[in-house]
Structure 1
Amino acid sequence: MTPIMHTIVVGILSYLTLIIVLRISGKRTLSKWNAFDFVVTIALGSILATSLTSTEVTLAQSVTAFVVIIALQFVITFTSVRSRGVLKLIKSQPTLLLYKGEYCHDAMTRERVVRAEVLAAAREKGMVDIEQVHAVVLETDGAFSVIGQAGEHDSALEGVEGVPGR
């Protein structure tokens, strides 16, 4: 088989296999990225690219590599739901960046977030005055959550690093 024909055949079959394996593995595999998800996604892309461009890698090797990576991802996420230690290993903790209109400068420095990014997150949620913002949280996937009104117990801030009194 010519290298071009190999790329076409293996490319189509690898792509279809990847879609099937991802569908079988569930929604968690395609969730918003944290560092762990990023690594899995890059690994899958690398396997697909190698299977498309290398005539030395067989379709069976590519499929096996897909299955191994997805299986490892499944085992790690399955275990993380049942073990705090594993969860802490693969997921960071959300971090409070602004609380009751006051910036949490130490947290912002540690997370490498500048004031302009916090303000942009507030504007995106339609906040006109930073004093109206109860909290801004940097989530585990790098997104900003903006909480406009305080509740009596701040229950949405449970598990967030830096919340006063916790």
Structure 2
Amino acid sequence: MNPFLDVALRSIAVYFFMFAAIRIFGKNQLSQLNAGDIVLLLLISNAVQNAMVGSNNSLEGGLVAATVLFALNFLVKKIIFKNPIIKSLIESDPVVLIKDGIVDNIKMKEQQVSFDELEEVVREHGVENIGDVKLAVLEVDGNISVISMDIENNQTKFTHHKRKFPRKSHKY
């Protein structure tokens, strides 16, 4: 077999393996990286490098692997954009945690968001009381968006919060 075709096929296999692994273990773990996450990413990249290029340590082999990964990522993003069924398989859906001041405890438990964390996020958005929250949404990237009602000016206020503790898992 052509050594560059071998690298390309190995790269494709590793790409889809990593896609599946991130989906299973929670892609939203990547919304905010801490030191442990960075170390994990570096170790994973080192671990899968040999799986992609095999014994081919040439510059050309590395460039083929990188080109295949970029092209495959471009293609997957195009497919996700055009096909909602595939998008739902790859990405999670946003989850409403608070609607009109009422907390959805079932959704919070499913998404492993503690009440203390939710209260902290609401306060970080400048809202004193959960009852004043019109909508709080756990976004697909693991962040929480809050829309509150400004009673004095009778208008809504939107803020977006990066989660300190991203989702721990993803439910299919």
Instruction: Report whether the alignment pairs 1:87 with 2:87.
Output: yes
Report the Cα distance in structure 2 between the residues aligned to 1:104 and 1:36, rounded to whole angstroms: 20
The answer for the alignment partner of 1:6 in structure 2 is none
Report the Cα distance in structure 2 between the residues aligned to 1:138 and 1:124, rounded to whole angstroms: 15
Report the Cα distance in structure 2 between the residues aligned to 1:97 and 1:85, rounded to whole angstroms: 24
Q: What stretches of structure 1 move > 6 A for 4+ residues in a row?
A: none
TM-score, length of structure 2 as denominator length: 0.56
Report the Cα distance in structure 2 between the residues aligned to 1:100 and 1:114, rounded to whole angstroms: 19
Report the Cα distance in structure 1 between the residues aligned to 2:45 and 2:85, rounded to whole angstroms: 29
Contact 1:47 1:62 (C-alpha < 8 Å) held by counterparts: no
Contact 1:47 1:65 (C-alpha < 8 Å) held by counterparts: no
Write 1 or 2 for the structure with the bigger share of strand: 2
Following superposition, the deviation at residue 48 of structure 1 comes to 10
Q: Which stretch shifts more, 141-150 or 127-136?
A: 141-150
TM-score, length of structure 1 as denominator length: 0.58
Following superposition, the deviation at residue 37 of structure 1 comes to 10
Contact 2:122 2:146 (C-alpha < 8 Å) held by counterparts: yes
Q: For structure 1, which runs of at least 5 residues remain unmatched after alignment?
A: 1-33, 151-155, 157-166
- Paired residues in the alignment total 114
Contact 1:47 1:66 (C-alpha < 8 Å) held by counterparts: no
Identity %: 26
Report the CA distance shift for 1:133/1:36 in structure 2 as closer, same or farther (over 3 A).
Answer: closer
Report the Cα distance in structure 2 between the residues aligned to 1:36 and 1:62, rounded to whole angstroms: 28
The answer for the alignment partner of 2:137 in structure 1 is 137
The answer for the alignment partner of 2:123 in structure 1 is 123
The answer for the alignment partner of 1:99 in structure 2 is 99
Which residue of the other structure, out of 35, 43, 46, is the alignment partner of 2:27?
35
Contact 1:100 1:134 (C-alpha < 8 Å) held by counterparts: yes
Following superposition, the deviation at residue 97 of structure 1 comes to 0.8
Q: For structure 2, which runs of at least 5 residues remain unmatched after alignment?
A: 1-25, 31-37, 151-157, 159-172
Report the Cα distance in structure 2 between the residues aligned to 1:139 and 1:71, rounded to whole angstroms: 27
The answer for the alignment partner of 2:23 in structure 1 is none
Following superposition, the deviation at residue 149 of structure 1 comes to 2.5
Report the CA distance shift for 1:37/1:70 in structure 2 as closer, same or farther (over 3 A).
Answer: farther
The answer for the alignment partner of 2:76 in structure 1 is 76
Contact 1:101 1:134 (C-alpha < 8 Å) held by counterparts: yes
Report the Cα distance in structure 1 between the residues aligned to 2:136 and 2:102, rounded to whole angstroms: 10
Higher relative contact order (CA 8 A, sep 6+): 2
The answer for the alignment partner of 1:26 in structure 2 is none
Report the Cα distance in structure 1 between the residues aligned to 2:92 and 2:138, rounded to whole angstroms: 10
